[in-house]
């Protein structure tokens, strides 16, 4: 009897699972461009109805989104059995479950030379302002796929701006705590998408603000970094004071809110819907500071972005914050951005009564004003707490009677936000906090606006302070007020958190493409006690490139997405801070804005070539992405499976002087012979094209020390005339067979 009951339960669970509906994205063959969008939607209902044997009226309960612009397809709630039926229907290219994505969470523009002040960017040899040449991005329309916007921010004022360009077809969608008056001549459009997200949270909207209003700050921060207006006298607690500005202060902004909740989760179905509308609305650029889980060739956002590119929209995306584990947004049509450091530190110091002083990071402007007793969190634990929890300064773990008036040494970690630790010290009556790194997992020191005088120090310094506390009969310490320091001549370095390549799906392309400032970036924030905030992540690097792309679009309105992509890559500079790093860390190098406006040559590409190559991949259900990508006219070169020899072809377009002669030089990867034919390119007019071949031959067995992860070795190829340098990084995998993930 027991076995029978168990069998019934198992069968019931299996049936329930089979009948449970989930969100799928159905990708159809290319549509007839002449069809009205309403007709396309009708077609989607008809296809679903015929495939499922249901009436058009019944399919209304299934379809969540109908995609009509970025790609031809729809998102629908289906059971596994229904999804299987649709996958076999004529005209269906592919059907995938909707994936979940996450957001990848002043001084920087001077540091990159956009302002033209050479004293503030010693590694970029130019005294010209791209802001002036690019007209501050005037009337370029930037679409932001993110967590929404805080429209009241000073960064989005519209003073001095005219009406939106006539090509703008979008809208300002009203919702909770957001109405049409929140849009203006700067923020010209706002939409929100939540139906896909509801599928992941049991369809409850109870805790959601259903509008384009930003609730986490991420979208507001990235938007103001890309296109924020000039706002004077911005600081964080009086530190890092300066004028806040985006890369393209006169560009227009349209926001598409697709990410929700404190975890900033984003449904693939919602993202595709946002991209679909953005293309129809008329955006020039899409900025996407988000990423998914494991790489897949059939990533729905990459497919939607591909069709946006085909419409002439430039798509910029973040590489991810997972350091060496995986890299996001690696499709060749993305401009994929890694994060680098800048030359500004907000520092704090703590002195012990023994005479030793330690330096760290802080965004707390005030100090303790006098020497105070210092204790470790474990020494002042509450009665119901453990020493381990008290050392982490968890909420409610410090005894107020023991803590009052003392500086508390707390260890980072335990899943507790850093500022929450200082809040616990304040709640217990402490006078200050020293936060030190966990010795078992050392990370970068962070700059935080703590609620008590505080400084963040390394694990070794923290252990030295702990040793002093334990060994001294009357330990005392003094925390100095925080200060802002600019380190003259410090070159950018790749951030530790920035995701690295190679891409397992697209090893024939070097990703990231480029790095840009993404560490300790100050930009606008949501309402409350702080109107500006300092945040790190490739999410912050991505809009830096978006801003520069807007300037390039204004300066070169006739350039294609591929030409802009090429200009950014081939003019990037090799920072002295990239020691012991490879192109899989930094791409072609660090963003060089002014040079990108004057690249000399570009590797151009008709967007339809992307679509045609990868449309075929979708139809057959499998694609050799190695050959598909290597045949693209890409500005970098990656050969992932070199066993004897391999030849790639490239074509460059002259966008520089009418008459020019370029000569090639090659820094060959160790053990590889690289031959470029021809080695000289002579141009007699602008827009003239010239083709060449690059042949790779294995000369000798490569020594193990020369090999990177996955067997890659590196070099570069550079074309030069009298004023332009056009550099392409090279990556070659020596005798390693890659398998494309299914």
Q: What are the tens digits of pLDDT across the range 649-700?
A: 999 999 998 899 999 999 999 889 999 999 999 999 999 999 999 999 988 6
Claim to verify: residue 188 and residue 314 sit in the same structural domain = yes
Q: Is residue 6 part of a domain?
A: no
Q: Token pair 């796929």 is at which residue?
A: 145
3-state SS, residue 546: helix
- Give Cα separations from 357 to 354, 399, 406, 464 (angstroms): 9, 28, 18, 11
Q: Kind of pairing, strands 660-667 and 680-683? A: antiparallel
List the one residue out of 281, 278, 245, 218 whose CA is nearest residue 115: 245
- Residue 317 CA to its chain's centroid (Å): 5
Claim to verify: residue 374 and residue 475 sit in the same structural domain = yes
Which of the following is catalytic: 115, 385, 539, 733?
A: 539
β-sheet bridge partners, residue 316 = 287, 335
Q: Is residue 593 part of a domain?
A: yes
Boundary-marking domain end, from 467, 486, 505: 486
List the one residue out of 705, 708, 736 whose CA is nearest residue 643: 736
- Give Cα separations from 657 to 98, 326, 739 (angstroms): 48, 41, 44
Note if the pTM is more than 0.75.
yes
Neighbouring C-beta atoms of residue 700, cutoff 10 Å:
9
β-sheet bridge partners, residue 488 = none
Q: Is residue 239 part of a domain?
A: yes
What is the spatial distance between Cα 572 and Cα 130, in angstroms, rounded to a whole number?
15
- Give Cα separations from 486 to 63, 111, 127, 695 (angstroms): 54, 11, 20, 45
Q: Is residue 516 part of a domain?
A: yes
Claim to verify: residue 82 and residue 115 sit in the same structural domain = no
Check if the beta carbon of residue 696 is closer than 8 Å to that of residue 676. Answer: no
Looking at residue 17, its pLDDT comes to 42
What is the spatial distance between Cα 299 and Cα 27, in angstroms, rounded to a whole number?
11
Q: Kind of pairing, strands 672-677 and 689-698? A: antiparallel
Claim to verify: residue 501 and residue 444 sit in the same structural domain = no
Give the DSSP letter of residue 384: T
Report the CATH number that the domain containing residue 39 is assigned in CATH.
Answer: 3.30.70.80
Claim to verify: residue 379 and residue 507 sit in the same structural domain = no
Claim to verify: residue 270 and residue 192 sit in the same structural domain = yes
What is the spatial distance between Cα 596 and Cα 233, in angstroms, rounded to a whole number?
30
| CA gyration radius, the chain | 27
Boundary-marking domain end, from 97, 118, 151: 97
Claim to verify: residue 292 and residue 148 sit in the same structural domain = yes
3-state SS, residue 441: coil
> Could you tell me where the DSSP H helices lie in 381-528?
387-391, 400-403, 418-427, 459-471
What crossing angle do the helices spanning 268-281 and 300-310 adopt, rounded to 10°?
A: 10
Give the DSSP letter of residue 140: P
| 539 noted as active-site residue | yes
Looking at residue 689, its pLDDT comes to 98
Tokens read off for 36:
């009205």
Report the CATH number that the domain containing residue 266 is assigned in CATH.
Answer: 3.40.50.200
Neighbouring C-beta atoms of residue 116, cutoff 10 Å:
18
Looking at residue 13, its pLDDT comes to 38
What is the spatial distance between Cα 599 and Cα 601, in angstroms, rounded to a whole number?
6
Which of the following is catalytic: 45, 218, 221, 544?
A: 218
Claim to verify: residue 293 and residue 154 sit in the same structural domain = yes
What is the spatial distance between Cα 640 and Cα 738, in angstroms, rounded to a whole number?
7
What is the spatial distance between Cα 459 and Cα 499, in angstroms, rounded to a whole number?
24
Q: Is residue 478 part of a domain?
A: yes
Q: Is residue 365 part of a domain?
A: yes
List the one residue out of 647, 693, 637, 692 whose CA is nearest residue 669: 637
What is the spatial distance between Cα 45 and Cα 205, in angstroms, rounded to a whole number?
26
235 contacts: CB under 8 Å, gap ≥ 6? 241, 242, 532
What is the spatial distance between Cα 178 and Cα 214, in angstroms, rounded to a whole number?
10
Q: Is residue 396 part of a domain?
A: yes
457 contacts: CB under 8 Å, gap ≥ 6? 350, 358, 359, 360, 434, 435, 436, 437, 445, 465
First to last CA, the chain: 44
What is the number of residues in the chain?
742
Give the DSSP letter of residue 446: -
Check if the beta carbon of residue 328 is closer than 8 Å to that of residue 302. Answer: no
Claim to verify: residue 223 and residue 322 sit in the same structural domain = yes
90 contacts: CB under 8 Å, gap ≥ 6? none
Count how many domains the chain has: 4
Boundary-marking domain end, from 602, 618, 645: 602
Report the CATH number that the domain containing residue 370 is assigned in CATH.
Answer: 3.50.30.30
Tokens read off for 42:
């009708």
Which of the following is catalytic: 110, 139, 146, 277?
A: 146
Tokens read off for 495:
């951030």
> Could you tell me where the DSSP H helices lie in 228-369?
268-281, 300-310
- Give Cα separations from 403 to 5, 374, 381, 741 (angstroms): 59, 9, 9, 55
β-sheet bridge partners, residue 515 = 338, 590
Which domain range does residue 435 map to? 346-486
Report the CATH number that the domain containing residue 717 is assigned in CATH.
Answer: 2.60.40.2310
Where the chain has pLDDT below 50, the residues are 1-18, 106, 123, 125, 616, 618-623, 740-742
Give the DSSP letter of residue 509: S
Give the DSSP letter of residue 339: E
- Helix, strand, coil fractions of the chain, as percent rounded to 5: 30, 30, 45
Claim to verify: residue 337 and residue 351 sit in the same structural domain = no
With 0-12 CB in 10 A as exposed, 13-18 as middle and 19+ as buried, what is 539? buried
Q: Kind of pairing, strands 100-103 and 680-683? A: unpaired
58 contacts: CB under 8 Å, gap ≥ 6? 49
Claim to verify: residue 228 and residue 268 sit in the same structural domain = yes
Q: Is residue 621 part of a domain?
A: no
| 34 noted as active-site residue | no
Check if the beta carbon of residue 478 is closer than 8 Å to that of residue 367. Answer: yes
Check if the beta carbon of residue 549 is closer than 8 Å to that of residue 246. Answer: no
What is the spatial distance between Cα 565 and Cα 548, in angstroms, rounded to a whole number?
11
| 218 noted as active-site residue | yes
Looking at residue 14, its pLDDT comes to 40
β-sheet bridge partners, residue 660 = 683
Looking at residue 295, its pLDDT comes to 56
Claim to verify: residue 424 and residue 459 sit in the same structural domain = yes
């Amino acid at each position: 009897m027991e076995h029978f009951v168990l069998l019934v339960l198992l069968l019931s669970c299996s049936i329930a699972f089979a009948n449970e509906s989930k969100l799928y994205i159905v990708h159809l063959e290319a549509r007839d461009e002449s069809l009205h969008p309403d007709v396309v939607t009708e077609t989607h209902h008809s296809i679903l109805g015929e495939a499922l044997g249901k009436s058009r009226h019944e399919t209304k309960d299934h379809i969540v989104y109908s995609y009509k612009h970025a790609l031809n397809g729809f998102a629908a709630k289906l059971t596994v059995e229904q999804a299987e039926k649709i996958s076999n229907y004529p005209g269906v290219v592919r059907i995938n479950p909707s994936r979940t994505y996450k957001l990848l969470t002043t001084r920087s523009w001077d540091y990159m030379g956009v302002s033209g002040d050479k004293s503030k960017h010693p590694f970029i040899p130019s005294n010209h302002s791209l802001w002036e040449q690019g007209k501050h991005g005037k009337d370029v329309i930037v679409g932001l796929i993110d967590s929404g916007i805080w429209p009241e921010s000073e960064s989005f004022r519209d003073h001095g701006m005219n009406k939106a360009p006539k090509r703008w077809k979008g809208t300002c969608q009203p919702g909770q705590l957001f109405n049409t008056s929140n849009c203006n001549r700067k923020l010209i459009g706002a939409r929100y998408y939540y139906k896909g997200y509801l599928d992941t949270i049991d369809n409850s909207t109870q805790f959601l603000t259903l509008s384009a209003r930003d609730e986490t700050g991420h979208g507001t921060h990235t938007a103001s970094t890309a296109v924020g207006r000039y706002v004077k006298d911005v600081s964080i607690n009086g530190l890092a004071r300066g004028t806040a500005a985006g890369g393209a202060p006169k560009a227009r902004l349209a926001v598409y809110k697709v990410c929700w909740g404190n975890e900033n989760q984003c449904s693939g179905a919602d993202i595709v819907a946002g991209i679909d509308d953005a293309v129809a609305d008329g955006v020039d650029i899409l900025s996407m500071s988000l990423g998914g889980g494991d790489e897949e060739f059939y990533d729905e956002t990459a497919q939607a972005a591909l069709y946006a590119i085909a419409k002439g929209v430039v798509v910029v995306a973040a590489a991810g914050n997972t350091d060496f584990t995986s890299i996001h947004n690696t499709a060749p049509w993305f401009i994929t951005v890694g994060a680098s450091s800048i030359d500004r530190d907000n520092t704090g110091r703590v002195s012990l009564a023994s005479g030793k002083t330690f330096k760290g990071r802080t965004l707390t402007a005030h100090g303790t004003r006098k020497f105070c007793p210092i204790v470790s969190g474990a020494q002042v634990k509450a009665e119901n707490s453990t020493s381990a929890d008290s050392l982490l300064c968890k909420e409610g773990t410090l005894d107020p009677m023991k803590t009052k008036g003392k500086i508390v040494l707390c260890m980072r970690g335990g899943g507790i936000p850093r500022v929450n630790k200082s809040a616990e010290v304040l709640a217990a009556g402490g006078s200050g906090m020293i936060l030190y790194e966990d010795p078992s997992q050392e990370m970068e020191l962070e700059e935080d606006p703590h609620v008590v005088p505080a400084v963040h120090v390394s694990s070794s310094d923290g252990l030295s302070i702990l040793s002093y506390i334990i060994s001294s009969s009357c330990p005392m310490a003094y925390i100095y007020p925080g200060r802002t320091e600019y380190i003259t001549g410090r070159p950018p370095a790749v951030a530790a958190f920035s995701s690295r390549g190679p891409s397992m799906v697209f090893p024939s392309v070097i990703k990231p493409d480029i790095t840009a400032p993404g560490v300790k970036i100050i930009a606008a924030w949501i309402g409350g006690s702080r109107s500006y905030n300092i945040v790190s992540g490739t999410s912050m690097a991505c809009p830096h490139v978006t801003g520069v792309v807007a300037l390039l679009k204004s300066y070169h309105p006739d350039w294609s997405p591929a030409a802009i992509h090429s200009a950014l890559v081939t003019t990037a500079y090799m920072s002295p801070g990239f020691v012991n790093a490879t192109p899989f860390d930094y791409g072609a190098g660090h963003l060089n804005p002014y040079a990108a406006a004057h690249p000399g040559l570009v590797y151009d590409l008709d967007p339809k070539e992307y679509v045609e190559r990868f449309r075929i991949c979708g139809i057959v259900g499998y694609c050799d992405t190695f050959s598909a990508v290597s045949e693209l006219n890409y500005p970098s070169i990656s050969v992932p499976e070199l066993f004897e020899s391999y030849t790639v072809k490239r074509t460059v377009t002259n966008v520089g002087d009418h008459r020019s002669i370029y000569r090639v030089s090659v820094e060959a990867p160790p053990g590889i012979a690289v031959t470029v034919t021809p080695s000289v390119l002579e141009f007699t007019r602008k827009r003239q094209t010239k083709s060449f071949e690059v042949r790779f031959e294995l000369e000798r067995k490569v020594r193990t020390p020369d090999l990177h992860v996955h067997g890659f070795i590196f070099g570069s190829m550079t074309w030069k005339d009298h004023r332009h340098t056009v550099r392409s990084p090279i990556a070659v995998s020596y005798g390693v067979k890659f398998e494309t993930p299914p």
